Amino acid sequence: MRLLTASISSFLRDRKGSTGVMFGLVALPCVMAAAVAVEYSDLVGAKTELQALSDAAALAASSAYADGNDDYTAIAEDYINKNKSDSGPLKDIEVNRP
């Protein structure tokens, strides 16, 4: 029993190799935090692009409405379809008329 107690005590006092264990425990949360940061950055970029595109389409439609054009919804739809990026996060958006 004394040998077992001494072995366990020696094992708990030994600090060799603890750096590797700590790195292993900390690496996964660090990588996950970096992945979340990248995804959040992509989300904010897509939101900004969508907001700019919808604002510009609204301005185009309101300008057409002010000029007396009754087909202002088609003008906004055409504006969005012509100006959305073909490779970004908004490449698959669809415009639905009310």
State the Cα–Cα distance between residues 30 and 36, nearest whole angstrom: 10
Q: Which residue has the tokens 């060799």?
A: 16
Residue 5 lies in a domain: no
pTM metric for this prediction: 0.64
Domain that includes residue 84, residue range: 36-98
Q: Is the pLDDT of residue 98 over 70?
A: no
Under a CB-based contact definition with an 8 Å cutoff, are residues 9 and 50 in contact?
Answer: no
Residue 21 lies in a domain: no
Q: For residue 9, what pLDDT band results from cuts at 50, 70 and 90?
A: confident
Residue 77 lies in a domain: yes
Residue 11 lies in a domain: no
Residue 56 lies in a domain: yes
Q: Tell me, what amino acid is at 52?
A: A
Residue 71 lies in a domain: yes
Per residue in 12-48, pLDDT tens? Answer: 777 777 777 888 889 999 999 999 999 999 999 989 9
Based on the structure, what is the number of domains in the chain?
1
pLDDT confidence of residue 48: 92
